[in-house]
Chain A
Amino acid sequence: MHDSGSPQNGHSADLPVDEITCQQFVELVTEYFEGALQARTLSQVEEHLVLCDWCVTYLEQMQATIGALGELREEPSPEPPDSVLAALRERSVGGA
């Protein structure tokens, strides 16, 4: 799957600066969604997604998680309590 940028000697510190790893990618996902990545990092992320189906899967899982959270949204709000409405009505009676 990956045919470019493999480190010559196995040390991550020597990765070509243009590439990010999957382990780095998963830490950047939130910033990616938020639109908070610097231009350079953004292009590295996008390049990585072109190359790595697994990280695309991870991204989709994250999107699905966020979507599922949206489904937890609660039911409609109750009525305001009478006491609070009474206090509010005091205001219009009292005038301003």
Chain B
Amino acid sequence: MQPESAVAPARVAFSDEHTLAALRAGDERAFRDLFARSYPMMKRVARTYVASDAVAEEIVQETWMAIVTGLDRFEGRSALGTWIFSILTNQAKTHSARERRAVPFSCVAPGDGEEPAVDPDRFQTDDDAWPGHWATPPRPWQKPDRRLLSLETRDRLKAALAQLPERQRVIVGLRDVEGHSAEEVCGLLGLSQENQRVLLHRGRSRLRAVLEEYLDVADV
């Protein structure tokens, strides 16, 4: 039996028809609920396009204005979440001066090249006794406790996350920080499950390596 995904918390689901009807009727409570639940994800995505939190917040606010005023035009051919996401990314791109943001998310981008999860130097070569097995094995970290959740570790992890290539950054953010499901993320970003997995794998692998480097030194 494979383990449940090791991810935590509540996921935002755009449950369409009911939400859409409530919004169209001007139901403020439904709107506030949707707004609050979606905000972290939307800000995270917007933030990947622009240089500052403040601009990301602006983009999210503009997106909501466009959503509320555009509700009548939404024909329901795509999922509500997908529609919202596309408005969001369009708003973000109009703010972003960077040309490469014009590439559709589902296309291959720089930084997505092949990279192993772990430095091949860590493994034995064909000349060694056990090719492919650990040469420098991982050492256990201190039990997940204060150290892993310490402020400094958090900052390191946050910085490393911010430095991931764009698509890895967004996907790790949506999956592991915000807790969205694979299905939701694939739907939002227009990716196949496999593509999403590959990017998730690369992002997580890099971050594990960053934490290992930091924690191994800190352990001494």
A70 and B7 form a contact (CB under 8 A)? yes
B5 and A33 form a contact (CB under 8 A)? yes
* Residues of A58-96 whose CB lies within 8 A of B: 58, 60-74, 76-78, 80-81, 83-85, 87-93, 96
Report whether over half of chain A's contact residues are helix, strand or loop; otherwise say mixed. helix
Query: What residues of B have a CB within 8 angstroms of the CB of A57 in the complex?
Result: 137-140
Q: How many residues of B contact A (CB 8 A)?
A: 72
A91 and B26 form a contact (CB under 8 A)? yes
Query: What residues of A have a CB within 8 angstroms of the CB of B39 in the complex?
Result: 77-78
A88 and B26 form a contact (CB under 8 A)? yes
Say yes or no: is B204 at the interface (Cβ < 8 Å to chain A): yes
Report whether over half of chain B's contact residues are helix, strand or loop; otherwise say mixed. helix
A90 and B26 form a contact (CB under 8 A)? yes
What's the nearest-Cβ distance from chain A to residue B191, in Å? 14
In angstroms, Cα B176 to Cα A69, docked, is: 6
B residues in contact (CB < 8 Å) with A: 2-3, 5-9, 23-28, 31-32, 35-37, 39-40, 43-44, 57, 61, 64-65, 68-69, 71, 116-118, 120, 123, 126-134, 137-141, 144, 148-149, 153-154, 157-158, 161, 172, 176-179, 182, 193, 197, 200-201, 204-205, 207-208, 211-212
Starting from the known contacts A67-B148, A69-B157, A91-B26, 13 additional A-B residue pairs (CB-CB under 8 Å) come to: A11-B131, A22-B133, A26-B205, A33-B2, A35-B5, A54-B134, A64-B211, A66-B204, A70-B8, A70-B176, A72-B177, A84-B61, A92-B28
